[in-house]
Structure 1
Amino acid sequence: MQKPALPANEQIRLSELRQLALLHTEPDPNYDTITRLAAAICEVPIALVSLIDADKQWFKAKIGWDLCDTARDISFCAHAILQPREITIIPDSRLDERFKGNPLLTSDYPVIFYAGVPLLSKTGNPIGTLCIIDHKPRNLSEAQISALKDLALQVENLFELRRSNLQLQEVEQLLTKKNEQLKKFAGTVSHDMKMPLANMIVTTDILRAKYAPKLDAQGIDYLSYLKQSSFSLSDYIDNLLSYYESEELQVKNLEKFDLHHLLEEIIDLLKISEDYIINLPESGIELNSSKSAVQQILLNLITNSLKYNDKETGIITINSVEDHAYYYIQISDNGKGIAADKLDSIFDLFSIASETDNKGKKGNGIGLSTVRNLVHSLGGIISVSSTEGEGATFDFTIQKVSA
């Protein structure tokens, strides 16, 4: 018996095999289907997808064969991969010097006929075979040989698909890790900046109170600008923290509350001027959900409707209905509206629909991303429709939870 030689590129070949992470994996119906077809087309009792490792050959798929692996030294497939561009056909292994004394010839299911097509990696290295076996001598027709080669190509396609999927999983894991690091960094930095900002605001007030008589008008303006900028940065940090907290939110504390009453509390909190008309739902509904999450959603959406309204009289209309599975809430206004090219990205982090609000302040693009996270945490979805210059309508749902 001749032991199969090692390919010249053995180490590279083994590396590519192991990168597929297929050895000793669970059966896969995609490979099993190919072995069934190979056996049926070639009219043989056995078909295998064999992977050649350093010391053993392992069978990823098999039909008519009980063994899970064999030693590489007695492997027919280990000989077949030495001619990676050709099909190896052995009509009668008893007449082949390479297999004299091979234990596979004298087993209960002797390997007499063998045909194996090398399975190549993307770079052309053979990592296994699609092979067929019979217990008696035979030959294959040209049509059967062609079909066997075609089936081997399909196995190679499965290899490439797996390789691509493994790469995608690796990238996804890396991105998840980087995202977690970024979130942790943003949260830490945001918390650490809160106190210095508060000190800046207090110090600005102290400077104004103590040194106002010694400052000219420009100096007073500088202090006002410093305080305003500190408040803007503080607001930005608050929004950023709210966003990351909303991503991690797991709704546990459920309570029953009246939507109409909650809306009245929000309106009182916002101290809305007489230039706005707020139309509340005609009939209230009782929600069983996270009151704090719903409050933040409504507060953000109503605040946006107020901030981005350019009409002499701003109108905000809120509607609500429910069915057996969801609460449906709609908030519409007659404000600036949202440009058509912004609608698809309006809920993305740092996406800004309008350069400035009605007081000339620039938004930070965090609020609506936070709203989306909160809605999702409540088992719902949110959407927006708008005509630029005429207003915008936000519709969101909240999944009902059994009391």
Structure 2
Amino acid sequence: MQLNTIPKNEEDRLLAVKSYNLEKNQDNTDFNNITELASSLTNIPNALISIVEKEKVWFKSAKGLDICSSDRNLSFCNYAINSDDDFFIIEDTTKDLRFINHPYTKNGKDAIVFYAGVCLIDENNFKLGTLCVIDNKPNSINTTQKNSLKILAKQVVKLIELNKSNSKLRQTKRKLVKRNKMLKGFATQVAHDMKMPLANMILTSDILKSKYKKSLDQKGEDYINNIKNASLSLNNYINNLLNYYENSNLSKKNVETFSFNQLLEEVIDMLNIKVNCSVNLPDKDEDITTNRAALELILLNLITNSLKYNNKPETIINIHLNTTNTNFYVIEVSDNGIGIPTKKQKKIFKLFSTIEETDRFGQKGHGIGLSTVKKLVNKLGGNISVKSTINIGSTFKFSIKKGI
């Protein structure tokens, strides 16, 4: 029996094999389909996909053989990758001087008598292993069958490389999820830590105005008002950030059945509207089943925007609910506001994207509200869109899955 030699690039070849990080199992349908095809196309009963490591050869797929690995020094696949040719074939090992005394040749009814293996060569020209067909009696394959094996071997390499790419993507995704979780935690902690100092600044501004009212001139009072307004604006910004991050996950435990119009009335009460405004609720009140807190926040943001971005003597807001769809509730919030420019309509749902520099109250938007709305709508299994005409108004239409 002739002993195997080691390839000149063995060290780099082993690093290449390791880099693909293939799982050592045989339950992958794609690999198993290839060995099935190899066996069928060549009319050879056994087919293997082998990966040649430092001391062992293990089999990613085994058609017709109950085998997971073998000693590399005895493996025919090792001979194949050490060969100068990329296709290694032995038609009768019992008559080949190199293998006449090989243990696998003298293995009784399980003897390897015929072997044909195509090297699995990656993009860097490293031989990772083989796609081979095996018989326990002398055999042969024709040129067409050889070409078929070569084509299948290339597909095996593509699968191996795809597995590596997918593995990298999974690792990247895990890192991103971990990093986003850390950023979310950091943002939430910072936001909570800032709320108390801001509350103190707002309270201190009111105390200063009250206690030193007689000593303050108009300029001094304006300074204090600016401090308070800036603090209120920052406090609102922090609340929006907290809403955005704290509503990332919606639990099915919070799903309940409730009156839609009653929810709207509660939202309107929370807003404490101080401008001339008419909010028209659906004519027919209906019970719906969804995450109440999430829908409340969606409606709160949309109605708030209708109030803030309006220059008419009377703000008119119309709200419609359609329950006829089998799977979704469809809700529309329309207003007669300033409208949204066409070029901005595709961007308004992105985080930190704003419609105008300031609203009707002189406050600058932070571009978090509509991003939160879209996020919540998506979490509720639906989609949101907007139609708007400058100086005529806007209609936000969104769907949410029934019962989620």
1:170-319 maps to which residues of 2 (within 5 A)? Answer: 170-273=171-274, 275-319=276-320
The answer to whether the 8 Å contact 1:122/1:160 transfers is no
Unaligned runs of 5+ in 2: none
For 2:93 and 2:4, locate their aligned partners in 1 and report how far apart those are by CA, in whole Å: 15
Q: What whole-Å deviation, never above 9, does each CA across 1:18-46 have from its counterpart, x for those lacking one?
A: 33232422422212222222222223222
The answer to whether the 8 Å contact 1:347/1:369 transfers is yes
Deviation, structure 1 residue 377: 4.1
Change (3 A) 1:385 1:35: same
Unaligned runs of 5+ in 1: none
The answer to whether the 8 Å contact 1:293/1:374 transfers is yes
% identical aligned pairs: 45
The answer to whether the 8 Å contact 2:329/2:400 transfers is yes
Aligned partner of 1:363 in structure 2 is 365
For 2:256 and 2:36, locate their aligned partners in 1 and report how far apart those are by CA, in whole Å: 58
> Which deviates the most, 8-17 or 195-204?
8-17
Aligned partner of 2:399 in structure 1 is 397
For 2:106 and 2:89, locate their aligned partners in 1 and report how far apart those are by CA, in whole Å: 19
For 1:11 and 1:28, locate their aligned partners in 2 and report how far apart those are by CA, in whole Å: 28
The answer to whether the 8 Å contact 1:49/1:61 transfers is yes
Q: TM-score with structure 2 length normalisation? A: 0.91
> Which deviates the most, 160-169 or 262-271?
262-271
Deviation, structure 1 residue 118: 1.0
Deviation, structure 1 residue 274: 5.6
Q: The residue matched to 1:157 in structure 2 has which SS?
A: helix
Q: The residue matched to 1:252 in structure 2 has which SS?
A: helix
Change (3 A) 1:365 1:110: same
Aligned partner of 1:10 in structure 2 is 10
Answering whether residue 389 of structure 2 is matched by residue 387 of structure 1, we say: yes
Answering whether residue 19 of structure 2 is matched by residue 19 of structure 1, we say: yes
Aligned partner letter, 1:267: I
The answer to whether the 8 Å contact 1:84/1:126 transfers is no
Root mean square deviation, CA, Å: 2.3
For 1:84 and 1:370, locate their aligned partners in 2 and report how far apart those are by CA, in whole Å: 62
> Which deviates the most, 117-126 or 209-218?
209-218
For 2:106 and 2:346, locate their aligned partners in 1 and report how far apart those are by CA, in whole Å: 69
Aligned partner letter, 2:52: I
1:129-148 maps to which residues of 2 (within 5 A)? Answer: 129-148=130-149
Deviation, structure 1 residue 113: 2.0
For 1:288 and 1:36, locate their aligned partners in 2 and report how far apart those are by CA, in whole Å: 51
The answer to whether the 8 Å contact 2:118/2:132 transfers is yes
> Which deviates the most, 64-73 or 93-102?
93-102
Q: Which of 327, 348, 351 lines up with 1:349 in the alignment?
A: 351
The answer to whether the 8 Å contact 2:26/2:32 transfers is no
Deviation, structure 1 residue 72: 1.0
For 2:170 and 2:196, locate their aligned partners in 1 and report how far apart those are by CA, in whole Å: 40
The answer to whether the 8 Å contact 2:258/2:288 transfers is yes
Q: TM-score with structure 1 length normalisation? A: 0.91
Change (3 A) 1:170 1:389: farther
Change (3 A) 1:364 1:274: closer
Aligned partner of 2:128 in structure 1 is 127
For 2:235 and 2:275, locate their aligned partners in 1 and report how far apart those are by CA, in whole Å: 28
The answer to whether the 8 Å contact 1:4/1:73 transfers is yes
